[in-house]
Structure 1
Amino acid sequence: MDTFRGVTLPAYQRIAANLRDRITSGALAPGQQLPTEQELAEEFGVARQTVRNGVGLLVAEGLVVSRRPHGHFVRQLEHMIYRPQAESRPQPVTPEMDRYCQQITSEGREPSQTIEVSLIKAPADIAKRLEVSEGELVVARRRVRFINGEPVNTNDSHFPLDVVRDSEIMSPADIPRGTNQALADLGFAQARAIDEFFVRMPTPEEAQRLQLGAGTPVALHIVTGYTQDGRPVRCTANILPGDRHVIVYERAWE
């Protein structure tokens, strides 16, 4: 056992704590390579396996990435500012740029996305929010959004089949004016929405879609949109990795 700031720690945790301090203080900058296992073993007077265990903690925390065969590097975190209130605002004038692309491009980064559309049997949570029977067919429009080639979040929207049947919402292509306006054009304009936020660990599927490292929590933002007469016509689930987002919510005082 060794001590770090007066606390007794196993050697591998002391190494992790020391390197963590270097990273958070900026002594080890984003993108910078960590000292080699041999160098750290000599610095701390331990075996290389002990160093490996300590660095492994930082990989699990998302602070360090492994780039074989070159070594370990401080992760470059480029947070996306996520604005839940933005979806109810008008789309940008430029048709080829949705809000997401406009935001990221203005920051000098390269946005992209994949879109998949399918008919699925509504799972219990979606069925409850859309007020349909569990197992009833609904349209799922699933997107993965990327910044500079790295997946940053998923955006999966679900719609009652009778609302969007044979519409462009069922096509796996970008809708420049947005699905909210597309729903309005179909006669199902949304007058209000309920936002729900959950913070938890990702499911295996979410971790795979977003290429998440071990120990990375996510925020789940569920939006259910209702027409003026109270019918739910959209349920969107956004998965936001905790190491890639800053959630900014703007309010006006009444």
Structure 2
Amino acid sequence: MAGDKLPSEAQLMKHYEVARMTARQAIQELRSEGRVVAEQGRGVFVSQPVQVRRLASERFARRHREAGLAAFGVEAEKTGFTPRVDQLEVSTASPPDEIRDRLRLGDGGDVVVRSRRYLADGQPVETAVSYVPASIAAGSPIVADDTGPGGIYARLEELGHELDHFTEEVSARMPTADERRRLQLTDGVPVMVVLRTAYDTTGRPVEVCDTLKAAPAYVLEYDIPAR
């Protein structure tokens, strides 16, 4: 069970009648899959993964923003974990070419960049970087550390950009060394990448968000009409 301590190498060798190297390799395999974690001086323990159910079909519903909830808060309320955000950085910069193209900024125009890490019950589960055209965000609460109730999307609508729809691209890969460190992942654990673009009712893209999710921590849930 989660939190239980694994038997020592010697105990595994005796119980399964295997060599020390076999027992050691078995533990390493479990570590690489993220199923167990080693604690210095204490031993190896069964991981306690947080399961965040990402309600993709409703997490951006206007009723949640009007209730003062951002998307991660919606998931916390539904799933029952305690949400927290740290490693927050806000800056204004020239965006990468891919982001510039998605925001249709042409050759000019800076963006407000909001980078942060999300934790569920104290465990890092996701990093996210939002890019909002500076022509929209400058001088607004979007450039503040705390954007206020409802998050970025509530502020965009207050600025006159009523949201119409979102597009998302989902892929998976292995993390870089820095990504593995920030999400506290063991070797061999993959991440999911969700690249989202938000559009207002005029069809203008008003935000791009690049999120990186620890794969074992998430279930992606979709409600797709059959019509």
Regarding TM over 0.5, the answer is: yes
Report the CA distance between 1:209 and its aligned residue. Answer: 1.8
Q: In 1, distance between residues paired with 2:43 and 2:93? A: 43
> 1:67 aligned to 39, 56, 68, which one?
39
- SS for the counterpart of 2:58 is helix
Aligned to 2:142: 169
Structure possessing the higher relative contact order (Cα contacts under 8 Å, 6 or more residues apart) = 2
Q: Deviations over 1:118-165 (max 9, x none)?
A: 123311221221122578531111221111211111222111111111
Gap runs ≥5 in structure 1: 1-28
Amino acid in the other structure paired with 1:64: V
Report the CA distance between 1:43 and its aligned residue. Answer: 2.9
1:247 aligns with 2:220: yes
Q: 1:135 to 1:154 in 2, by over 3 A?
A: farther
Report the CA distance between 1:218 and its aligned residue. Answer: 1.2
Aligned to 2:174: 201
Higher-Rg structure is 1
Aligned to 1:87: 59
Q: 1:128 to 1:93 in 2, by over 3 A?
A: closer
Q: Bigger shift: 47-56 or 86-95?
A: 86-95
Identity %: 30
1:38 aligns with 2:16: no
Check the 8 A contact 1:123/1:134 in 2, yes or no: no
Aligned to 1:145: 118
Report the CA distance between 1:167 and its aligned residue. Answer: 0.6
Report the CA distance between 1:174 and its aligned residue. Answer: 4.3
Q: 1:143 to 1:134 in 2, by over 3 A?
A: farther
Check the 8 A contact 1:157/1:237 in 2, yes or no: yes
1:101 aligns with 2:73: yes
Aligned to 2:165: 192
> 1:238 aligned to 204, 211, 214, which one?
211
Check the 8 A contact 2:147/2:155 in 1, yes or no: no
Check the 8 A contact 1:141/1:156 in 2, yes or no: yes
Aligned to 2:49: 77
- SS for the counterpart of 2:112 is strand
Check the 8 A contact 1:65/1:74 in 2, yes or no: yes
Report the CA distance between 1:51 and its aligned residue. Answer: 2.2
Amino acid in the other structure paired with 1:218: V
Gap runs ≥5 in structure 2: none
Q: In 1, distance between residues paired with 2:200 and 2:140? A: 18
Q: In 1, distance between residues paired with 2:170 and 2:178? A: 19
Amino acid in the other structure paired with 1:57: E
Amino acid in the other structure paired with 1:159: V
> 1:112 aligned to 84, 96, 102, which one?
84
Amino acid in the other structure paired with 1:66: A
